[in-house]
Amino acid sequence: MERVPVLKIGDILLVSIQIDMEDQVALQLQEDLADRIVATGCHGVIIDISALDIVDSFVGRTLATIASVSRVLDAETVVVGMRPAVAITLVELGLSLPGIRTALNVELGMDLLAQARGFEVPDDDEDDADEAVVAAS
């Protein structure tokens, strides 16, 4: 059985699902992720589903369960890279994915987690404007 890798980046665990999410793989991911949260003490989880063409009701419920387990273990979950067809399917299935925040990509997901933890996220545009003011002085 294939496993989904769980990578640690700072205080965040990144899960990039690049394989078909069969039921057994989804359950194994749920267990692996909970173990890694406890082992690392990370406070954020990003699940990248950009490679998934479809999400069935079981995988959708498993994502919601992963978010709930993560929250109990003091880690926020953000799902990134959701394709429009996947979003439509989840809505049609009536899955609201409670406890899961979403973002368009990994970078925005990391920003969302930083904001949730109370860290200021620098805005690149403001930095450029500040540099322009200093240069003009």
Q: How many other C-beta atoms lie within 10 A of the C-beta of residue 70?
A: 24
Return the SS3 of 6.
strand
List pLDDT tens digits, range 72-102. 999 999 999 999 999 998 889 888 777 689 9
Q: Are 37 and 70 in contact (CB under 8 A)?
A: yes
Amino acid at the residue 47:
I
Mean pLDDT of 108-134: 66
Is residue 10 over pLDDT 80? yes
The verdict on pTM exceeding 0.85 is no
C-alpha 109/C-alpha 116 separation (Å) is 11
